[in-house]
Amino acid sequence: MSDLEERTFIAIKPDGVQRGLIGEVIKRFEQKGFKLVGMKMLQVRICNQLSPASQELLHNHYADLSTKGFFPSLIAYMSSGPVVAMVWEGKGVVKTGRVMLGATNPADSAPGTIRGDYCIHVGKNVIHGSDSVESAEQEISLWFQPSELVSYKSCAFNWLYE
User: pLDDT digit string (tens) for 47-85?
Assistant: 556 555 577 888 899 999 889 988 988 888 898 889 999
Report d(CA 115, CA 125) in Å as an integer. 6
Residue 21 has pLDDT above 60, yes or no: yes
Residue 93 has pLDDT above 90, yes or no: yes
Q: How confident is the model at residue 17 (pLDDT cuts 50, 70, 90)?
A: very high
pLDDT for 55: 75
Binding site annotation covers 104? yes
Total domains present in the chain: 1
pLDDT for 2: 80
Whichever domain contains 97, its CATH number is 3.30.70.141
CA separation, residue 146 to residues 2, 48, 58, 143, 162 (Å): 18, 30, 19, 10, 29
| 8 Å CB contact between 127 and 114 | yes
The percentage of residues in the chain with a pLDDT greater than 90, rounded to a whole number, is 76
Classify residue 77: in a domain, yes or no.
Answer: yes
Query: Looking at the annotation, which residues are catalytic?
Result: 128
Cα 98 to the chain's mean position, in Å? 10
| Residue 63 lies in domain | 7-150
Binding site annotation covers 115? yes
Binding site annotation covers 70? yes
pTM: 0.91
Q: Which stretch of DSSP H or E encloses residue 78?
A: helix 71-78
